[in-house]
Amino acid sequence: MIPEIGLFSLILALLAALVQGTLPLLGAATGWRPGMAVARPAAVAQFGLATVAIGCLAWSFLQNDYSVLYVAANSHADLPAAYRFAAVWGGHEGSLLLWLYLLSAWTLAVALRSGRLPLAFLARVLAVMGWISAGFLLFLLFLSNPFERLMPPAMAGRDLNPLLQDPGMIVHPPMLYMGYVGFSVAFAFAIAALLSGELDALWARWVRPWTLAAWTFLTIGILLGSAWAYYVLGWGGWWFWDPVENASFMPWLAGTALIHSLIVTERRGAFRSWTVLLAICAFSLSLLGTFLVRSGVLTSVHAFAVDPGRGLYILGFMTLVVGGSLTLYAWRAPKVGLGGGFALLSRESLLLANNVVLTVAAASVLLGTLYPVVLDVLDWGKISIGPPYFEAVFVPLMTPAIFLMGVGPVARWKQAKVPELGRRLRIAFGVSVATAVLLPLAMPGPARLGSPLVILGLWLAAWSIASAAAHAWQRLTDGDGHWPRRLGRQPRAWYGMLLAHAGIGVFIAGATLANGYEVKQELRLDLGAAQDAGGYRFTFAALAPASGPNYSAQRAEFRVTRADGRPATTLYPEKRHYTVQDMPLSQAAIDSGFTRDLFVALGEPAGGTAWTVRIQVKPFMAWIWSGCLLMALGGLLAAGDRRYRQEAARAPLPRSHADPVPATPREGY
């Protein structure tokens, strides 16, 4: 009965989405206020029905209802309750239901938090989101029903994929999808602006916090996915340029460009058409990521032959959304206009250059991700594009982007002067160069002391942090007033910008040092033997059987000592065997510190008491995670800036091309 309630809720949610997508648009086009007023209650109803649906699926998992095909395929009675709950989005159907639920949550938030928007404009925004929901609901009901019955019921489930039985996977997919789906808000605002011609500084002020929130969630989702790969997959890496990783990274790059473009539209009224296009691209890349992951095309292009309906529907839906929005953009963008002018050297021009680089970077990742798929589809051969391509293309693109990121905040709006920029940034430049040259002298591994990539990475990292500090000093000391008093008067968005830019520097430093100075060894090690690596000695001290709720394991004990013999830590890697799926899995043991990680993973038995073992000493891995957290915290602070609510509330959205709202000296970013 519970699955039928969930299915019926999805049917009613589809009706609510169709009403939400149709009547408000008609009302906005004809001035029919009752039609426009339907948008909010329809959004509330859709969220309530989606909540019931996902709640019914979660209940079916927790109750081990194997009469539901999706539950039988992704759960087992021995699976811990937390992972049974996470199994709701552990497969194809459930992950799409999670997408729909989060989309309804974003729609509800827009409906409830946008009361100051003109009714016609809000009606268009919610109608666009309603049609997106309708597209996913149709897919769920006709091609990916999570409540499909299995008759007769299975005696036992097939268990959740062991790789997904990790605490990180309880949080990672919801955070990632919150970012994906969150860009639908900016997309809906962009389409509404194209339909109405209402796009100016206040429009950007409405869109910016929603975009920042989506970008923050996506940043956290990417961080959790990278950490999961590092801790669970057992190969000791944190980013491999895998197509699934790229599927989340592309909208992140486009979203980063969108945030900076919104700044210019809000402050100077410029980049209007460019901002709309970036909003379309960010959500389109989110849909593309869904297509790549959920159509099965990444596993094999023959997934279309096995189940052509799903792949063709997603491809058709994506073509309709992306193609339709780009067609509307080509038709209506001239009405929106480009906005105000600016000098060749100004904050606007620097932000524009930065956005162009970010867009080209996203396009290069897109090319490297899709090119092998296209060749395979056309039967022109199979190739694999991996880290060498992405690193060769991405690093040269990011170098000017990071440099411009440091210059932009200290440049003046409308027109900047080179001597003034030089005075403001000379100390930051000197500190960054000194750091890049001197820091390697303190690192172990003289063989890599002169690596150009290490020096470049350290310079970019130090430049990001030092230029942010220079901007903060300039902001707090220029003009009248005591700097502690000025410190307390700065808006949250400014603090968020500083944290995010500093976080990028910390991240680059961690990635540079981890990749440039890591020590890794794969070897055969007998019980009782020891191996030296990176200034530590790893002793294979013991091996004993162990067990978990749904697996058996061999647990090793590695005693780690420093070069002088002092104990450092004890690590307990496991080689697990998950009984139901008959799948082995290496569970790495990691001792994390501020300046280094000690990593041990068991491979396969190598005869007698010997095992193949992977040992790694990875410096500054914590800086990678810390940098991402700083970026996310910066986005959160900026999204929570009260100016977006207060100033937008004081001035309703104009009808068309009103003059931009000027930035006060204290606003800056």
| 3-state SS assignment for residue 589 | strand
Pairing of strands 574-578, 519-525: unpaired
**Rounded-to-integer distance, Cα 410 and Cα 399, Å:** 19
Give the predicted TM-score (pTM) of the model: 0.93
**Rounded-to-integer distance, Cα 386 and Cα 239, Å:** 11
633-644 per-position pLDDT tens digit: 999 999 988 766
Amino acid sitting at position 290? T
- What percent of the chain shows pLDDT beyond 90? 70
Q: How many helices (H) and strands (E) does the chain have?
A: 21, 10
- By C-alpha distance, which of 34, 233, 39, 84 is closest to 550? 84
The answer to whether 184 and 104 are in contact (CB under 8 A) is no
Q: What's the burial of 545, exposed, middle or buried (CB within 10 Å: 0-12/13-18/19+)?
A: exposed
pLDDT at 412 over 50: yes
446-492 per-position pLDDT tens digit: 545 558 889 999 999 999 999 999 999 888 887 655 667 777 778 89
In order of 61, 232, 477, the CA distances from 85 in angstroms are 7, 19, 53
What is the pLDDT of the chain when averaged over all its residues?
A: 89
Residue 12 corresponds to which tokens in the numbers above?
């009613």
Q: Which residue has the higher pLDDT, 305 or 370?
A: 370
pLDDT at 235 over 80: no
Q: State residue 479's pLDDT score.
A: 60
Confidence class for position 669, pLDDT limits 50, 70, 90: low
- By C-alpha distance, which of 525, 606, 604, 523 is closest to 559? 525
Buried residues in 607-622 as b, exposed as e (16+ CB within 10 A): eeeebebbbbbbbbbb
568-615 per-position pLDDT tens digit: 999 999 999 999 999 999 999 999 999 999 999 999 999 889 999 999
The answer to whether 203 and 190 are in contact (CB under 8 A) is no
44-100 per-position pLDDT tens digit: 999 999 999 999 999 999 999 999 999 999 999 999 999 999 999 999 899 999 999
**Rounded-to-integer distance, Cα 596 and Cα 622, Å:** 7
Residue 544 corresponds to which tokens in the numbers above?
């004993």
Q: State phi, psi for 658 to the nearest 5 degrees.
A: -70, 160
The answer to whether 605 and 574 are in contact (CB under 8 A) is no
**Rounded-to-integer distance, Cα 558 and Cα 333, Å:** 63
Beta bridge partners of 611: 525, 605
Q: State residue 200's pLDDT score.
A: 78
Give Cβ neighbours of residue 568 (< 8 Å, ≥ 6 apart).
536, 560, 561, 562, 591, 598
Helix (H), strand (E) at residue 16: helix 2-30
Tokens 């909010």 locate to 40
Q: How many CB atoms lie within 10 A of CB 418?
A: 8
Q: State residue 573's pLDDT score.
A: 97
Q: What's the burial of 649, exposed, middle or buried (CB within 10 Å: 0-12/13-18/19+)?
A: exposed
Beta bridge partners of 68: 149
Q: How many CB atoms lie within 10 A of CB 112?
A: 12
Amino acid sitting at position 508? I
pLDDT at 300 over 60: no
Amino acid sitting at position 18? L
The answer to whether 578 and 550 are in contact (CB under 8 A) is yes
254-286 per-position pLDDT tens digit: 999 999 999 998 888 888 889 999 999 999 999
**Rounded-to-integer distance, Cα 170 and Cα 632, Å:** 19
Range of lowest pLDDT (84-88, 178-182, 215-219, 239-243): 239-243
Mapping DSSP onto H, E and C, the string for 183-224 reads HHHHHHHHHHHHHHCCCCHHHHHHHHHHHHHHHHHHHHHHHH
The answer to whether 152 and 28 are in contact (CB under 8 A) is no
End-to-end CA distance of the chain: 54
Q: State phi, psi for 32 to the nearest 5 degrees.
A: -85, 100
Give Cβ neighbours of residue 312 (< 8 Å, ≥ 6 apart).
304
